[in-house]
Structure 1
Amino acid sequence: MPSPLENPFPKVLDYSRQGVEAPGTRRPGQTGHYQNGLWGLITLEKQNHIRTVPDIFNLGYSLAKDQPFLGHRKVLSRNPLTFGEYVWITYAQADERRRNLGSALEILFRDGVLGGGEYPTVGIWSQNRPEWQIIDNAISAYKKVSVSLYDTLGKDAVEYIIGHSHLTVVFVTLEHIPTLLSISRRIPMLKMIVSIDDLSEEIKKVLTAWGKVLNMDVKELRELEAMGQANRLEPIPVVPDDLVSICYTSGTTNNPKGVLLTHGTLATAAMSNLHGADISEAGCLISYLPLAHIYERNSELNVIAVGGRIGYFTGDPLRLLEDAQALKPNFFPSVPRVLNRVYQMAMLAGQVPGIKGYLFRKALETKLNRLHETGINTHAFWDKLVFRKVQAVLGGQIKLLTCGSAPISADAMDFLKVAFACDVVEGYGMTENCGTCTRVWPFDPTSSGTVGAPQPCNEIKLVDVPSMGYTANDKPNPRGEICVRGGNCFSVYYKDEKNTRETIDPEGWLHTGDVGEVDSVGRFKIIDRIKNIMKLSQGEYVALEKVENAYGGAGVLAQLYVHGDSLQSYLVGVVVPDPEQFAPLVTRVTGNKVGPTDLAALLAASKDPRVRDCVLDELSNHARKVGLKGFETVKKIHIELEPFSPENGLLTPTLKLRRRDAYEKYKAELEALYSSPASNGGAAPKL
């Protein structure tokens, strides 16, 4: 039985009216208010199926009570670590567990064992796994407030969030328990640690004794479930305005900000996302993006609302493709970092000499031409002969592939559309609007490079940014800061009046800090960022994130940190090359055969001026292709083989660059780039 929230796109779409301006809404210095061209502006009150997060679970339960819900791969061997097929629990089994756990939490808060802060907050610090959803659903069903800790957060951020949100209990995986115990004296509000993993008798004895010394209660998840089962309470009614989560944004410079999300904001986002989403009750999502991030959390709420399945990856990114092939998902939410890797690897296939390379290039050319002319991304012959091999990488049954979190190049999006021959959706959102703002329409021939039209729950306007030269009167398209309003938008940063005032204006508009333009059919495109603007010595302003994003499709590039100095006239950068593309380049330049796993040879080559100049030439060619201005292009580079990651402190858990930390790490190399004579490839041209 289909979900009553599903609203499919009609078979025939009018692509000329994807976003429309509401009449009479224009004002000086801003565009009118754009709404979805098909559904207009919708609200929770216009439907009677969901109002709150528990309503979403209850709807999925009613559709698929005895059907598989949460799955994981069973461990077959620890040495070596091997996994079997997916095993599942049903909606009914998950309901039983959430009621048991929620009852225990309510008793502990009611009796004063836990609590004492402004809100009844409950922390979750874990990689994605079935228990994450069970815990979160128990929290929302019993009127508690979840606080997610990123699995890759360092001690400082964990300590800050626990203190800031007054967490008295945190559900954690085993490896995090020693961390919490070691900092317990600095977070005196924390009273209980609950291990999601079952503990051996010996380990539990040690951790319990350690906790007792620190006045910390260490328990197991199964203990709380047993407690709740013996003292079962009914779920506590909630309303849309009740707080359900404090979702902390991963700060790139300062402490993370706590976004207050209500039941209504998350329910509105789910309702909106199911307008046009190709997810059915038989749908299956693979969960690997951090559940503490709004993008993945939102995606899983969408699947739950239709009674679908969620299969969790093993926790090892290197096994993700293996997990996908075992699960065979229909729904693959992703990010440019993952999808660019798929794109770059596939492009290497087109460089293979002989008949294989020719067939790939011919198949790609044929399908791209058809896509651009008609929007059709399938081809009976080429899909079977060539692209089914690409599709098999993700299990071979993908129907919906989504991309968010950061920009992706139009070329990469076009490739993904023809390679996977399914609905490939780029969208735009942020924690503050529950990851829901715009999305592209299916099979739009010219949507790549845009983030699409307003979601049905949103209205969007562009506001002038005079300091950067963007105005609502720009030709051919209006440009300005993207501002969004709707039932999915937050209204307060927790204990942060200053940032709240700077982000939400008196009329309720959320100022995103992103600069966009809107085309003649009502699709939006992200073109710049107001933050991270610096001025070069000759007076030109440069948006560093914009430059980094523009280089994103360069073949040899895996990651890039762009740096500018206001006393200098040009930009420099730290380049992390893709080994699969870097190795052939090194071989070509040096004449010595080098493989992508020969780290010693690649490291030596990274210091070779000839190799560095060749990489810079490729980047410069790409910069010209995407239309970067002369002063926006990187003129000198340092090549680094170690990828930026949350583990080495250079990326946030949502994979955004920590600029301050990157600068500190590469300060010496950056200063050397500015002080050294320009190489052939790195000479700063006249601007």
Structure 2
Amino acid sequence: FSWKHSLRLWSLVSFLPWYYISGAGQKKMQSSRIKAKSTTGRAEGPYRCVDHFDSLANEDFSGKDTLDKLFDYAVQRFGPAHCLGTRDVLSEEDEVQPTGKLFKKVILGEYKWLSYNEMDTIVSEFGSGLAALGQQPKSCVAIFCETRAEWMITAQSCFRRNFPLVTFYSTLGEDAIAFGLNETGVTHLVTSAKLLETNLKNVLPHIPKLKHVIYVDQKKVSTDGYPAGLSIHSIESVRELGALPENLERPIMKPQPSDLAVVMYTSGSTGRPKGVMIIHSNLIAGMTGQCERIPGLGPKDTYIAYLPLAHVLEMTAEISCVSYGCRIGYSSPQTLSDQSTKIKKGSKGDCSVLRPTLMAAVPEIMDRINKNVMSKVQEMSYVQKTLFTLGYEYKLDQIKRGYDAPLCNTNNRSNEEAAGGQLRIMLSGGAPLSPATQRFMNVCFCCPVGQGYGLTETCGAGTITEVADISTGRVGAPLICCEILLRDWAEGVALKPSKPKGEVLIGGPNVTQGYFSHENNDNDFFVDEKGQRWFCTGDIGVIHSDGCLQIIDRKKDLVKLQAGEYVALGKVESALKNCPLVDNICAYANSEQSYVISFVVPNQKKLTELAKKRGIMGSWEEICTHTEMESEVLKELKEVAVNIKLQGFEIPVKVHLSPDPWTPETGLVTDAFKLKRQELKKHYLHHIERMYGGK
């Protein structure tokens, strides 16, 4: 009681001075203001941002209407400043785990930086080298590579010379990559030595038009075992070729705003990947909208890059950072923090060294951070745990009111330091972020978390929450580059709430040109009577009274049970991820059955502790397959479901525990950690039959 009394007393004494000095009242008014309204007065919209209501923003980069002009302008403004940074690997060693598995651990050095001027030189030489190897304007160059500086250098080289860039996720699979390379008819491919050996070697004989493969690593790659007529080059040798005066001085065909900039391949629902065609003006418009929601973006910012660059969120974030003079430090999910899997104990992860101010993350990663911190809290002494809980609850209450609790921020110093201690904004995209995780990040990392909503087909642009918005569970108002319309959806009528609801359609100059093969273009894209392009997202949304959007369902994720009830699988999964025993979950149902089942990747530490309490011993696999542990997890899931007020028919009746985590490498989740439902269904078909009373 005395601690709570002291906190209240401190609040009373400090509140008024802090309130006026920090401008908290103004921020609260900003949070509650009307952010978007219907252009027609109809409930379904279209809804447009009130800050740019008269017309949609086509471009906002001082007349720079193509990506090469954006980069040239950035070089003029920020020439000697740091642009792209990479850490050297000082040493590597294999570490044997208790399970007998070998984990490779690394010690990394400081960041080494390329300035804007140095990057400009490399971009010129590499683009010139590609042209010298026969690459023609308006013909595609493919990139299949990890997130690293060479990816962005390749992209800028292609933008400058009007070579459309074809991108692939590293987890698409060999058949999908071969399909995309053949569909776009590429003759030049940029990759890494590792991906060349492990993912591409078996594919290359089936790509008849491919003539040149360029690897971006320093080490030499053996050319044995590759098809005759295919040339393998290092990026350095291509640069040296491009630096020759006769090549460097060749005239360049510059792109036009309507020229193709990127063909971005995403996983297709039919099994074949879909290549989204993005022109220069689409990307300019999309980035205009995104950057308007990031206040103060500029040369003082440092962005940490670790998400896949073949994902539209990461690609547009990095191009925007380069355009505004920010530093980009490259990382990976395995080296992000001091505790990351590849960082040798006692050495520094990338966040600690880089100290970023800006960071993008997918909800899966934020959920992991949340569970890891809370797990450490449980191991604290009684006094430490009490202090943390008091500070957490007090600050949480203040944040919900639209205020802050500076006194409690010292309580979170170790959490802040895990991300470098300088973060001012985190942006979440790729999937819905649970309100609990969003609040946790607000409290423990002392920075706003913006949720974004967009798709590859809209250049990643759609909505982003404003920094001042204190609400949770929503994705914000339309960006200034687009508008949002809700289309009636017959199957959703029974669930219709008082707020406007329907399938989300996004329209504006950021809407792309369709799919490379033209498959599904008529179903997914259309042009209205004013000539504006629209994309039908397949997501079901609700518009709140202030014009902000909330995504509540996915058409494909909605299943009608035998008795006629609709179950939104994504909603069930988002709710049940709050269970401490769950690291990941996939809900499953089909219309021939009357109940929902689930597959769960359990939290190893929590489940092992629970097994010991129940007297169950054995390997991790044996614990996961024990029927009593299945029952225990199911019991906890039901408790969480009841507390969160899921309907009875939404709660899973049976569960299968998976001892193996779902990673992009397993093919069961995308690079953005979205569930691949068809792949999960195939993988667990035997268990589906078992849980539904089959063989």
- Shorter-chain TM-score above 0.5: yes
Deviation at 1:364, TM superposition (A): 0.8
Structure 1 contact 404–427 (Cα < 8 Å) conserved: yes
Which of 19, 23, 27 is the aligned partner of 2:35? Answer: 19
- Conserved in 2, the CA contact under 8 Å of 1:59 and 1:307? no
Distance 1:667 1:491, change over 3 A: same
* Matching residue of 1:267: 284
Corresponding position of 1:38: 51
Contact persistence 1:535–1:566 (CA under 8 A)? yes
Inter-partner Cα distance in structure 2 for 1:625 and 1:42: 43
Q: Show CA shifts across 1:564-619 (max 9, x none).
A: 2333210111110122333333344x157x8xxxxx54333223333222211221
In the alignment, what sits opposite 1:330? Answer: 357
User: Is 2:452–2:462's contact at 8 Å kept on the other side of the alignment?
Assistant: yes
Shift of 1:454: 1.0
Equivalent residue number for residue 680 of structure 1 = none
SS in 1 for 2:349: helix
- Contact conserved, 2:307 with 2:332, CA < 8 A, in 1? no
Counterpart residue identity of residue 671, structure 2: P
**Residue deviations 1:542-582 (CA, integer Å, cap 9, x gap):** 33333323323332211112222333210111110122333
2:314 maps to 1:296: yes
Instruction: Out of 121-130 and 31-40, give the one that drifted further.
Output: 31-40
For 2:123, the equivalent position in structure 1 comes to 98
Deviates more, 1:569-578 or 1:236-245: 236-245
1:188 matches 2:208: yes
Pairwise mapping of residues 503-542 of structure 1 onto structure 2 (< 5 A)?
Answer: 503-507=524-528, 508-542=533-567
Q: Deviations over 1:173-195 (max 9, x none)?
A: 11232443433331101111111
Does structure 1 retain, via aligned residues, the 8 Å contact 2:28–2:468? no
Contact 1:459 1:484 survives alignment (8 Å): yes
- Map residues 446-485 of structure 1 onto 2, 5 A cutoff: 447-469=471-493, 474-485=496-507
- Cα 1:475–1:543 change in 2 (3 A) is closer
1:226 aligns with 2:217: no
Q: Distance in 1 between matches of 2:292 and 2:252?
A: 29
CA deviation string 1:264-288 (max 9, x = no partner): 1111111111213142212111111
Relative to structure 1, is the Cα distance of residues 37 and 199 closer, same or farther in structure 2, using a 3 angstrom cutoff? same
Partners of 1:529 and 1:90 in 2: CA distance: 44
Q: Secondary structure at the match of 2:83?
A: strand
- Counterparts of 2:607 and 2:57 in 1: how far apart (Å)? 50
TM-score, normalised via structure 2 length: 0.87
In the TM superposition, 1:304-453 aligns within 5 A as 304-313=322-331, 316=334, 318-319=341-342, 322-351=349-378, 352-373=380-401, 375-377=402-404, 379-384=405-410, 386-445=411-470, 447-453=471-477
Q: Distance in 2 between matches of 1:559 and 1:608?
A: 19
Matched residues, percent identical?
Answer: 29
Task: Name the residue aligned to 1:684.
Answer: none
Residue deviations 1:37-58 (CA, integer Å, cap 9, x gap): 3343542356634211112222
Whole-angstrom CA distance in 2 between matches of 1:572 and 1:315: 31
Partner SS for 2:229: coil
Secondary structure (helix, strand or coil) at the match of 1:38 reads helix
Q: Partners in 2 of 1:388 and 1:59 — Cα distance?
A: 39
Give the Cα separation in 2 of the matches to 1:47 and 1:72: 28
Residue pair 1:248, 1:259 contacting (<8 A) in 2 also: yes
AA paired with 2:40?
A: G
SS in 1 for 2:567: strand
Q: In 2 relative to 1, CA 316–223 (structure 1 residues): closer, same or farther, beyond 3 Å? A: same
**Offset at residue 461 of structure 1 (A):** 1.4
Question: Counterpart of 2:503 in 1: which secondary structure?
Answer: strand
Name the count of aligned residue pairs: 639
**1:477: how far off?**
1.1
Q: Which runs of 5+ in 2 are unaligned?
A: 1-25, 95-105, 336-340
Query: Structure 1 residue 54 and structure 2 residue 68: aligned?
Result: yes
> Contact conserved, 2:39 with 2:47, CA < 8 A, in 1?
no
After TM superposition, give the deviation of residue 11 of structure 1 in Å. Answer: 6.1
Q: Which amino acid aligns with 1:34?
A: Y
Q: In the TM superposition, what whole-angstrom CA distance separates every residue of 1:311-338 from its partner, at most 9, and x where no partner exists?
A: 1115735348811112111111000110
In 2: Cα distance, 1:83 partner to 1:382 partner: 33
* RMSD after superposition: 2.3
Counterpart Cα distance in 1 of 2:310 and 2:233 = 22
Residues 23 and 660 (structure 1), Cα distance of their counterparts in 2 relative to 1, 3 Å cut? closer
Q: Distance in 1 between matches of 2:362 and 2:546?
A: 26
Q: In structure 2, how many angstroms separate the alpha carbons of the residues matched to 1:15 and 1:77?
A: 49
SS for the counterpart of 1:123 is strand
1: distance between equivalents of 2:498 and 2:377? 36
* CA contact 1:408–1:552 (8 Å) conserved in 2: no
* Structure 1: 5+ residue stretches without partners: 1-9, 595-599, 678-687
* Amino acid paired to 2:513: S
Sort the Cα spacing of 1:319 and 1:383 in 2 relative to 1 into closer, same or farther, 3 A: farther
SS of alignment partner, residue 509 of structure 1: strand
| Equivalent position SS for 2:152 | helix
Contact 1:586 1:602 in 2 (8 A): no
Q: Distance in 2 between matches of 1:46 and 1:241?
A: 17
Distance 1:369 1:11, change over 3 A: closer
Q: Does 1:171 align with 2:190?
A: yes
After superposition, where does 1:203-218 map in structure 2 within 5 Å? 203-204=221-222, 207=223, 209-211=224-226, 214-218=228-232
Larger CA deviation: 321-330 vs 336-345: 321-330
Change (3 A) 1:612 1:619: same
Instruction: Give the match's secondary structure for 1:88.
Output: strand
- Give the CA deviation at 1:673: 1.6
**Secondary structure in 2 matching 1:248:** strand
Q: Which moved more, 1:146-155 or 1:55-64?
A: 55-64
User: What are the within-5 Å matches in structure 2 for residues 106-185 of structure 1?
Assistant: 106-109=131-134, 114=135, 119-178=138-197, 179-185=199-205
How far off is 1:534 after superposition? 2.9
Residue aligning to 2:511: 489
1:476: how far off? Answer: 3.0
What is the alpha-carbon distance in structure 2 between the residues aligned to residue 46 and residue 643 of structure 1? 43
Cα offset, 1:676, TM superposition: 8.2
Q: Which residue number corresponds to residue 522 of structure 2?
A: 501
The Cα of 1:485 is off from its aligned counterpart by 0.7
Residues 572, 39 of structure 1: alpha-carbon distance in 2 compared, 3 angstrom cutoff: same
* Structure 1 residue 484, shift from structure 2 partner: 0.9
CA shift digits 1:114-136 (9 cap, x unpaired): 46xx9411011111111111111
Per-residue deviation, residues 53-101 of structure 1 (Å, max 9, x unmatched): 1122223223321111111111112446321111111110100010111
Does the 8 Å contact 2:59/2:284 carry over to 1? no
The residue matched to 2:317 in structure 1 has which SS? helix
| Superposed structure 1 runs of 4+ greater than 4 Å apart | 10-13
Query: How far is the alpha carbon of 1:347 from its aligned partner?
Result: 2.2
Larger deviation: 37-46 or 607-616?
Answer: 37-46
